[in-house]
């Protein structure tokens, strides 16, 4: 079967030795290469001993945004020659995980950019530095401090804010024979428009309803709840979902879903961009995506509808700057975040990323804002927006809300029943 | 194997052709999409009417892209070499030796694969930090030099090889390492080719570990760099498909090289009749 | 082994990874998990996923390997082509399948053609079809790689065994049954175990395509672990969940070893 005889007879001993020498040489080479690489990269930064180095982790990493952040940092360094800022870039997808790993291992950066909905979970656990003392002079300059406040102390400075409005497709509305008189509409008006546009054909949908995406769906439902006068947690700190206001909001939301399509945020945005979705409740990023992918799209924006046609309350989100509780140079770090969050500097960043606002009441006097009606309406809505209550167990509460909305959308229960169940579950979380 | 009746051959041929065309369709779509500018997903044409290289020029306009590719290559190739050598040695031990606790030891090798990465990442990060490897090539290479999958694959493959050749060599006084490198490795070429391909693919595409275990620009790997190019909630399929094409290309080239090895095992292996 | 022991250790504590507080709570995490509806759903979905994909993936891989190995014209094209889906990035594949499964996608059209009703919002957004859709996608993407492993093993079967079988008057089926199959046993065990471990940890597809919805119908164990550990910061609870998953995987693998690895093939 196998010609083993030849195999065995051959004198392998010389081969054996030769082979080992070559192998050994190979190993040594490989190890040398690896070690030299390790060493060359390990001992890179030789710095002046007098200089303070600040570690800054941030998310603005696409080339345009990164260039702006870099130039802002250079401005700061030229004004503060004794301070050096070292940037680490984070992705929107897994950045949160990296932050969690670093904090949990006692190795956090000095300065960190946090989404507004992440701050409470960090500040309530003592992971952030109390910057009340450093921010007294800019309290009046900025708006929307709330998510950064815990126990009366300040933990984060608002940097770049955004909100959500309803985008509508003008061409589809014309085809359906409906129109909005101005940018504030009533519940009935809006529902009627959704119904009409949804009836245009199989590939056209009216209202774009977010499917179950954890940590996103609640941001779409709460504005309707707030605009109807409902609350998740009342002033006494009790769960208050089982109220007539909440019931009317929930029933209205489910009616909208009936005249629309359920899909993920990214798919809804795309369907809107390609002109196949009538109404999309989305954020400032959509302005930029429309501009990049279908600049010809004939669209407008309205604020969140209310029962009687006032401007409703939307959901605000934003990026905040905070110091970790282990920050070694809090004073220099605070100087840096105050510089970055300065409205003029933030406006520069907003312009390069194509959306967002500095955290001020006054819209910056800049054609980027003043010559774009949609953007100005965004700002009006921003001033009429809220963030979720800064509760340390909010992430559990939002899960209850999202499951409730989802069950309603898939008709797995009566709205009143679902609200009652959700209220009970939230009470349990609040009283833990 | 080659004496199938003709009607079975024709059916097989048609089925394979159909499956193969389906299988390369996504790849084609990715390539085609990478050449079309400013399109939403459903607007991408099957055959592009005009070609745009904007996606690629955007990616390579970052002057450091070559550095990122270099980093990925260094890490992936080192890890492949380490795995080929170490997996064969350890796999050989498990396949051919009987020793007390072998089953338990082998089970614990497999067990390492059974814990989700998100649970491992924090202890791993602490360990890497403790050893001073954070943000270095060491973090990208050393923990991955051997992986349970490779040990398992080699154990299975080696245990299906006829032991006669080894026995003969052993009679002639050959040592274990000699047998592993000069007898097992040539015989196991098809499995090693599969292993090399698998390990390269995994390491080349790896995102979570390199992202968490490094931070500086000079240690960035290609998948991390490509992920960082994406703006907040941005919809840009040309850029995304260009990025995917760039990262898929080396893997496809490597696969083409290694798949020849898998065929050549057929003719060049030592098991000729 | 270190991470394995570490997570076992953590699973007996109430851990808040952000503040770094540890509180020993014994087996409370485990007790709570078994009354946690989400976790039980996740385990159920994961088991359905594993049991419903692995036989198909393995058989498809074996058939494809035998077919490619049959010296048909074009084999040098089929082999690389069938492996391509497992090379193409999962994010791209997930995107493409999301569109195939959308209400106006090709899969929906095909099903309509066969007279099967398609859910209004597409296959991924109905709690009845979402998990099955992801399972089908997984089989189609994964089998090419396992085919490659079978091909490597097929190269290893000594040709003279077939010749000997032919001399004994064996037909194609007998040759397959008594020569090919026994030689493929070790690699089949490998494929089964590897695929079981991989499938029990299905995460990326879920993360990109459905985030566990609709109505938890695609919530899988690792997604649950990720959400509890990294979003809710309860690493003790997450570790306990990971550990239960680990025990289930280990049991499955042990069973497979027992049935497929008992006697190893020898020439």
- The confidence score (pLDDT) of residue C264 equals 44
CATH code of residue C202: 1.10.3720.10
- The confidence score (pLDDT) of residue B44 equals 81
Check CB contact under 8 Å for A214 and C211. yes
DSSP letter assigned to residue C178: I
Between A228 and B110, the higher pLDDT residue: A228
The Cα–Cα gap between B229 and B65 comes to: 11
| In a domain? residue C166 | yes
A20-27 average pLDDT score: 48
DSSP letter assigned to residue C101: T
- The confidence score (pLDDT) of residue B68 equals 94
| In a domain? residue C78 | yes
Between A311 and C157, the higher pLDDT residue: A311
Q: How many domains does chain C fold into?
A: 1
Chain A contact for C121 (CB, 8 A cutoff) = yes
The 10s digit of each residue's pLDDT in C187-227 is: 898 899 999 999 999 988 898 888 888 999 999 999 999 99
List the single range of B26-40, B55-69, C249-263 with lowest mean pLDDT: C249-263
Res A48 pLDDT > 60? no
Confidence label for B160 from pLDDT (cuts 50, 70 and 90): confident
Check CB contact under 8 Å for C68 and B16. yes
**Residue range of the domain that includes C162:** 2-260
The Cα–Cα gap between B203 and B226 comes to: 15
Check CB contact under 8 Å for B164 and A4. yes
Out of A100, A263, A396, whose CB is closest to C18?
A: A100
| In a domain? residue C251 | yes
- The confidence score (pLDDT) of residue C262 equals 57
Confidence label for A19 from pLDDT (cuts 50, 70 and 90): very low
Confidence label for C112 from pLDDT (cuts 50, 70 and 90): confident
**CA A53 → CA A81, A309, C164, distances in Å?**
11, 53, 76
The 10s digit of each residue's pLDDT in A334-347 is: 999 999 999 999 99
The Cα–Cα gap between C267 and C252 comes to: 29
What CATH number belongs to A164-316+390-430?
A: 3.40.190.10
| Backbone phi and psi for residue A207, each to the nearest 5 degrees, phi listed first | -80, 135
Q: Which chains touch B (3 or more CB pairs under 8 A)?
A: A, C
pTM of the complete model:
0.87
- The confidence score (pLDDT) of residue C230 equals 87
| In a domain? residue C266 | no
Tokens matching residue B119: 């649970």
**Which spans in chain C are helix H?**
2-10, 28-33, 37-69, 75-87, 90-100, 106-113, 130-154, 159-167, 172-175, 181-200, 204-209, 221-226, 235-260
Q: Which 3-state string (H, E, C) describes A183-243? A: CCCEHHHHHHHHHHHHCCCCCCEEEEEECCCCCCHHHHHHHHHHHCCCCCECCCCCECCCC
- The confidence score (pLDDT) of residue B261 equals 67
Closest alpha carbon within chain C to A403? C215
| In a domain? residue C129 | yes
Closest alpha carbon within chain C to B27? C88
* Relative orientation angle of helices C2-10 and B102-113, to the nearest 10 degrees: 70
Check CB contact under 8 Å for B247 and C96. no
The residues, any chain, with a CB within 8 Å of residue C184's CB and separated by 6 or more, are C62, C150, C153, C154
Tokens matching residue A316: 């605000």
Share of residues in chain B with pLDDT > 70 (%): 93
Q: Which domains does chain B have, with CATH numbers?
A: 64-228 (1.10.3720.10)
Point out which residues pair with A322 in neighbouring strands.
A112, A156
* Span(s) in chain A for CATH 3.40.190.10: 53-162+317-386, 164-316+390-430
Check CB contact under 8 Å for C227 and A121. no
Please give, rounded to a whole number of angstroms, the shortest distance from the CA of A238 to a CA of chain B.
Answer: 35
- The confidence score (pLDDT) of residue A102 equals 93
What CATH number belongs to A53-162+317-386?
A: 3.40.190.10
């Amino acid at each position: 079967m196998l010609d083993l005889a030849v195999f065995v007879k051959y004198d392998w001993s010389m081969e054996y030795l030769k082979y080992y020498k070559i192998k050994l040489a190979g190993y040594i080479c490989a190890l040398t290469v690896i070690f030299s690489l390790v060493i060359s990269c390990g001992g890179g930064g030789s710095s002046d001993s007098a200089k303070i180095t600040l570690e800054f982790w941030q998310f603005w990493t696409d080339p345009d945004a990164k260039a702006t952040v870099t130039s802002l940092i250079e401005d700061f360094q030229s004004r503060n020659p004794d301070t050096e800022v070292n940037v680490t870039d984070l992705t929107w997808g897994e950045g949160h995980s990296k932050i969690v790993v670093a904090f949990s291992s006692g190795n956090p950066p000095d300065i960190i950019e946090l989404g507004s909905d992440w701050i409470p979970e960090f500040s309530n656990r003592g992971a952030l530095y109390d910057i009340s003392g450093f921010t007294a002079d800019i309290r009046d300059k900025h708006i929307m401090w709330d998510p950064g406040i815990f126990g009366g102390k300040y933990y984060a400075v608002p940097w770049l804010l955004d909100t959500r409005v309803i985008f509508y497709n003008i061409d589809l509305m014309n085809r359906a024979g409906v129109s909005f008189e101005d940018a504030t509409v009533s519940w009935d008006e809006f529902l009627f428009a959704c119904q009409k546009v949804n009836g245009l054909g199989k590939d056209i949908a009216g209202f774009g309803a977010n499917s179950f995406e954890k940590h996103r769906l609640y941001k779409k439902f709460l504005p309707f709840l707030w605009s109807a006068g409902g609350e998740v947690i009342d002033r006494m700190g009790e769960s208050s979902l089982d109220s007539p206001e909440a019931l009317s909001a929930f029933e209205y939301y489910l009616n909208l879903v009936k005249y629309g399509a359920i899909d993920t945020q990214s798919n809804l945005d795309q369907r809107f961009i390609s002109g196949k979705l009538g109404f999309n409740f989305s954020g400032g990023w959509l302005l930029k995506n429309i501009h990049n992918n279908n600049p010809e799209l004939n669209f407008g924006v309205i604020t969140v509808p209310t029962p009687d046609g006032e401007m409703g309350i939307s959901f605000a989100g934003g990026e905040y700057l905070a110091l970790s509780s282990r920050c070694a140079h809090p004073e220099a770090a605070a100087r840096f975040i105050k510089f970055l969050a300065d409205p003029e500097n933030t406006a520069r960043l907003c312009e390069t990323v194509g959306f967002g606002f500095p955290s001020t009441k006054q819209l910056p006097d800049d054609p980027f804002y003043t010559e774009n009606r949609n953007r100005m309406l965004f700002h009006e809505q921003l001033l009429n927006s809220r963030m979720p209550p800064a509760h340390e167990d909010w992430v559990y509460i939002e899960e209850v809300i999202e499951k409730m909305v989802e069950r309603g959308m898939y008709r797995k229960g009566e709205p009143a029943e679902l609200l009652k169940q959700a209220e009970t579950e939230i009470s349990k979380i609040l009283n833990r | 194997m080659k004496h199938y009746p003709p009607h079975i051959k024709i059916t097989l041929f048609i089925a394979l052709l159909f499956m193969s065309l389906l299988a390369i369709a996504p790849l084609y779509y990715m390539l085609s999409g990478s050449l079309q500018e400013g399109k939403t997903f459903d607007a991408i044409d099957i055959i592009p009417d005009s070609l745009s290289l904007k996606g690629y020029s955007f990616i390579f306009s970052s002057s450091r892209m070559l550095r990122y590719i270099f980093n990925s290559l260094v890490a992936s190739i080192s890890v492949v070499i380490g795995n080929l050598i170490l997996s064969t040695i350890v796999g050989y031990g498990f396949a051919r030796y009987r020793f007390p606790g072998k089953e338990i030891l082998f089970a614990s090798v497999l067990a390492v694969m059974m814990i989700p990465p998100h649970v491992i990442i924090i202890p791993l990060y602490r360990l890497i930090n403790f050893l001073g490897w954070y943000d270095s090539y060491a973090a990208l290479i050393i923990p991955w030099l051997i992986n349970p999958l490779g040990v398992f694959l080699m154990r299975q493959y080696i245990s299906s090889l006829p032991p006669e050749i080894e026995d003969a060599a052993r009679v002639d006084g050959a040592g274990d390492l000699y047998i592993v490198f000069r007898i097992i490795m040539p015989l196991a070429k098809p499995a090693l080719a599969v292993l090399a391909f698998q390990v390269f693919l995994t390491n080349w595409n790896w995102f979570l570990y390199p992202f968490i275990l490094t931070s500086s620009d000079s240690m960035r790997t290609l998948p991390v760099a490509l992920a960082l190019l994406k703006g907040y909630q941005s919809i840009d399929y040309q850029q995304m498909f260009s990025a995917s094409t760039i990262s898929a290309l080396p893997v496809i080239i490597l696969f083409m090289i290694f798949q020849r090895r898998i065929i050549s095992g057929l003719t060049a292996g030592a098991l000729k009749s | 082994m270190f991470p394995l022991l570490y997570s076992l250790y953590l699973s007996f504590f109430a851990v808040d990874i952000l503040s770094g507080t540890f509180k020993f709570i014994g087996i409370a995490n485990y007790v709570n998990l078994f009354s946690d509806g989400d976790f039980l759903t996740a385990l159920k979905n994961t088991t359905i996923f594993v049991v419903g994909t692995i036989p198909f993936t393995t058989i498809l891989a074996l058939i494809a390997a035998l077919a490619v190995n049959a010296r048909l014209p074009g084999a040098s094209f089929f082999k690389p082509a069938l492996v391509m889906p497992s090379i193409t990035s999962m994010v791209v594949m997930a995107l493409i399948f999301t569109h195939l499964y959308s209400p106006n996608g090709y899969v929906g059209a095909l099903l309509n053609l066969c007279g099967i009703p398609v859910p209004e919002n597409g296959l991924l957004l109905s709690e009845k079809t979402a998990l099955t859709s992801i399972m089908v996608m997984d089989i189609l993407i994964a089998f090419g790689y396992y085919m490659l492993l079978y091909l490597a093993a097929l190269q290893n079967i000594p040709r003279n065994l077939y010749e000997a079988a032919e001399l004994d008057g064996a037909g194609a089926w007998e040759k397959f049954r008594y020569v090919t199959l026994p030689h493929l046993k070790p690699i089949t065990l490998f494929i089964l175990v590897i695929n079981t471990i991989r499938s029990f940890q299905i995460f990326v597809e879920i993360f990109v395509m459905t985030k566990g919805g609709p109505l938890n119908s695609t919530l899988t164990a690792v997604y649950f672990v990720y959400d509890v550990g990294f979003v809710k910061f309860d690493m003790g609870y997450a570790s306990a969940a990971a550990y239960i998953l680990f025990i289930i995987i280990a049991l499955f693998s042990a069973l497979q070893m027992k049935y497929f690895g008992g006697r190893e093939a020898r020439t």
